[in-house]
Amino acid sequence: MTPPSIPMQPDKPHQSIRLFENDVLERLSHVHPVTPLLLWAPVSLWLLWRTFALHHLPLLPVLAVGLAGLVTWSLTEYCLHRFLFHYPARSRIGKRLVYLFHGNHHDDPKDKTRLVMPPAGAIPIMAVIYLLFGLLVPAPWIEPFTAFFIVGYLIYDYIHYWTHHFPMRGRLAKYLKHYHLRHHYSKQEGRYGVSSPLWDWVFGTDPGTR
């Protein structure tokens, strides 16, 4: 006698952690993964257009400045992740801010709507960083520098998204995926780099190299 078939239970829809009582603020904390590309790619392209069409800067020096922008993003990514997102806050307000920035991601790393930085957080951070760059990088070189810095940020955002939601093929891609997932699940401090382990190696925060 054939046993009765057991009906398949549909997967429950993912329930995001609610961060705000206010519905508007809660909505702003969620972002579609394509949003950073739509927001920041035009800014980067506009800065590069100004670099060549308006300022007529030579290509090779622009590429050198661009490389500096990419490396600077890599260091910024590391510093933000290590010192801001994992800041050992003690006050109630401090702990709340750290949780809003990053703690919720560790509690729910599979939340697709919180894997890239929402514009509400990214825009003020980028504005402050740009003002700091302006103190160090002279005009008009600040424009290609920032354009490539933004490219580095976008690379980081999508590597981060892919590590949590795609199998990632190829030796380098698999390495980055496993490297970041160990940051989440190994219960070891460190591995703050997402798009690159470079600064973990430099500053000794990769437990695998100790």
Please write the tens of the pLDDT for every residue from 83-101: 999 999 999 999 999 998 8
Which pLDDT does position 5 carry in this prediction?
46
Distance between CA atoms of residues 174 and 111, nearest Å: 21
Q: How confident is the model at residue 154 (pLDDT cuts 50, 70, 90)?
A: very high
Instruction: Please return the burial class of 156, using the count of CB atoms within 10 Å of its CB with bins 0-12, 13-18 and 19+.
Output: buried
Distance between CA atoms of residues 206 and 109, nearest Å: 20
Q: How confident is the model at residue 4 (pLDDT cuts 50, 70, 90)?
A: very low
In this structure, are residues 107 and 17 in contact, taking their beta carbons and an 8 Å threshold?
yes
Q: How confident is the model at residue 139 (pLDDT cuts 50, 70, 90)?
A: very high
Of the chain, the end-to-end C-alpha distance in Å amounts to 61
Instruction: Please return the burial class of 121, using the count of CB atoms within 10 Å of its CB with bins 0-12, 13-18 and 19+.
Output: middle
Question: Which one is predicted more confidently, 185 or 121?
Answer: 185
Which pLDDT does position 187 carry in this prediction?
82
- Please give the C-alpha separations between residue 69 and each of 112, 133, 156, 164, in angstroms, as whole numbers: 28, 10, 13, 26
Give the model confidence (pLDDT) of 106-136 as tens digits. Answer: 999 889 888 888 888 889 888 998 999 999 9
Q: What is the pTM for the complete model shown? A: 0.89
Which pLDDT does position 121 carry in this prediction?
80
Question: Which one is predicted more confidently, 7 or 15?
Answer: 15
CA dihedral 104, 41, 162, 88 (to 10 degrees): -30
Which pLDDT does position 110 carry in this prediction?
85
Q: What secondary structure does DSSP assign to 90-112, as a single string?
A: -SHHHHHHHIIIIIHHHH-TT-G
Given a cut of 90, whether residue 165 has pLDDT beyond it is: no
- The per-residue pLDDT of the chain, averaged, comes to 90
